[in-house]
Chain A
């Protein structure tokens, strides 16, 4: 909500001069559409504003106007994300935004999930990477539909890219669309894609304090998957402490501990997918 006048977001922009009312140079214009502009002339005090000598040429002085915007810098992305979200809801599609550092095993988890569930739920994938279509090829080998988006120098996916990606992908209604974001725990936290949930993936070969180091991402996510738990005997990783940190940053986080390689713990993740899918379908 606008703190200046109490109007809601998306309302007409108002023009305000935020100066003192005693200012002798300040004056008001009311435009044809009712907009009131209050501003001041930056010229000498001796100038008589309403003298008979006053004419258009004399009046052509520099004005300073303060335009109050209060516009969110991510408004454009948020608007497109809202459109994506509505589209997902209409199609009864579960859209998930998978985020992690590079190398957490996101693509392995994805291919395993697709192979195990594709008989029950159609799954398609939007794959985001800075370059190459290597991951998309790995996904395609499972037989599922996939679109690769290369962001080039960009470090995250944005809602506009997803809109185009969905158009290409044409996922079937009552399906799951997995959006594999660029491997990065910073920027994707800020950019809503229209997903129902962000799923953050962390592996035991990383530091257990990652949730504290990248709090924005863990706070923006609804689900955390701790992957590669089959490697726990070989690494110094305190799983309990990691979960404690994650819940400290986001007490509402749903956490699954899995190994995409051995399959351990995946049933709980699949259960969450199926339940969430069921809650989306209108009766």
Chain B
């Protein structure tokens, strides 16, 4: 259940950067090869935000599909799991997309003076 600790990180990072401003929305990017389940993050977020200024914050999650590049022949192809085999027979793959695990942005609301 590493999603719990990761959700605590999300809240900590968001509150730090918001500097007291109201957070309307947190947008996450979660790669499909990242070993993180968006459903678990959502579940943990609902539990962790109680009693924090994030009770009305929308959690938006962008799931990024996996993309691999064969280190032997350079072919790029979609993968759903963190392993696979290229058309050329090689299994030596570099993941070029799908390992993201980040807060992309925050939408803040503040009074302009």
Chain A positions near chain B (C-beta within 8 angstroms): 13, 18, 39, 41, 56, 59-74, 76, 154-156, 158, 186-187, 189-191, 212, 215-216, 219, 247-252
Contact = CB atoms under 8 A, between A and B. Distances in A.
Interface of B: 1-2, 5-6, 9-10, 13, 17-18, 21, 24, 28, 35-36, 81-83, 85, 91-92, 101-113
12 contacts: A61-B112, A62-B111, A63-B110, A65-B108, A66-B108, A67-B107, A68-B104, A70-B105, A155-B2, A186-B2, A215-B81, A248-B91
Contacts of B110: 62-63, 65
| Majority secondary structure, A binding face | mixed
Given A216-B82, A248-B91, A69 B113 contact: no
Give the secondary structure class of B's interface.
mixed
A282 to B, nearest CB: 31
Contact of A249 (B1, B2, B82, B108): B82
A156 B2 contact: yes
Contacts, number: 101
Given A67-B17, A216-B82, A59 B108 contact: no
A65 B111 CA distance: 11
A69 B111 contact: no
Contact of B105 (A68, A189, A248, A249): A68
Contacts of B83: 212, 215, 219, 248-250
Given A65-B110, A73-B10, A251-B92, A216 B35 contact: yes
B17 A13 contact: yes
B35 A18 contact: no
A149 B35 CA distance: 25
A63 B109 contact: yes
A69 B35 contact: no
Contact of A69 (B2, B36, B105, B112): B105
B30 to A, nearest CB: 9
A14 B3 CA distance: 27
B17 A69 contact: yes
